[in-house]
Chain A
Amino acid sequence: AQTIHQWPVAEIKAVGSPLSLGCTIKGKSSPNLYWYWQATGGTLQQLFYSITVGQVESVVQLNLSASRPKDDQFILSTEKLLLSHSGFYLCAWSLGEGLNERLFFGHGTKLSVL
């Protein structure tokens, strides 16, 4: 069975500090991977997607970057956090050949930027 693990569960960071969030998928070879951001009480916004190792496409620019160093790993990062980066970050993977087919989400990371 496929499992998706996100870390950390929650972070409190200062404005201007760096950030790294991680996501690991087990039990699925060459998954399509996604990062989403959700403002408190808001909808989900897709930030990045990756079809294969070393390849990442940006959907929305929020002064964040993403990398896929391994087939089963997806990293979201920034060197300088902004207040607007606060929110809930979700990693997801999908089944199927195309993008954005059936999506399965991790448990998310709650980020508070102060």
Chain B
Amino acid sequence: GDKVKQSPSALSLQEGTNSALRCNFSIAATTVQWFLQNPRGSLINLFYLVPGTKENGRLKSTFNSKESYSTLHIRDAQLEDSGTYFCAANNNNRIFFGDGTQLVVKP
């Protein structure tokens, strides 16, 4: 979307490596969510963030509201991490999704 810009649009990683995905917002986001859409289409909620950082296993996400961005760090990438990652920003009770980052993890 034009209010939420995700980068990169696509990414290929070797198994066991690390990477970071980013979202930049042109709106004043109050909360941010990160989702993983698996190849079957199911969307899994990875993080729900107010400004700050959260960590869950090999994933860590930061939301910086002052500089209008959020990042998702993937450590020690595994094959099952493959899919499309979406970030979504909440602004005035409306939600805006980015266009996604397609991640492929290769053995």
Chain A residues with CB under 8 Å of chain B are 42-46, 88, 90, 98-105, 107-108, 110
Contacts and interface: CB of A to CB of B under 8 A. Distances in A.
A103 B41 contact: no
Contacts of B40: 107
A50 B1 CA distance: 23
5 closest A-B pairs (Cβ-Cβ)?
Answer: A100-B95, A105-B43, A102-B48, A99-B93, A44-B97
B15 interface: no
Interface of B: 1, 31, 33, 35, 40-43, 45, 48, 86, 88, 90, 93-95, 97-100
> Which of A46, A99, A100 counts the most B-chain CB atoms under 10 A from its CB?
A100
Given A102-B48, A103-B45, A107-B41, A46 B95 contact: yes
Given A107-B40, A107-B42, A108-B42, A101 B90 contact: yes
Contacts of A45: 97
Contacts of A103: 33, 35, 45, 88, 95
B90 A44 contact: no
Given A90-B43, A108-B41, A43 B48 contact: no
Contact of B33 (A42, A46, A88, A102): A102
16 contacts: A43-B98, A43-B100, A44-B43, A44-B88, A45-B97, A99-B95, A100-B93, A100-B95, A102-B48, A103-B33, A103-B35, A103-B95, A105-B35, A105-B43, A105-B45, A108-B42
A101 B92 CA distance: 11
A110 B90 contact: no
A101 B99 contact: no
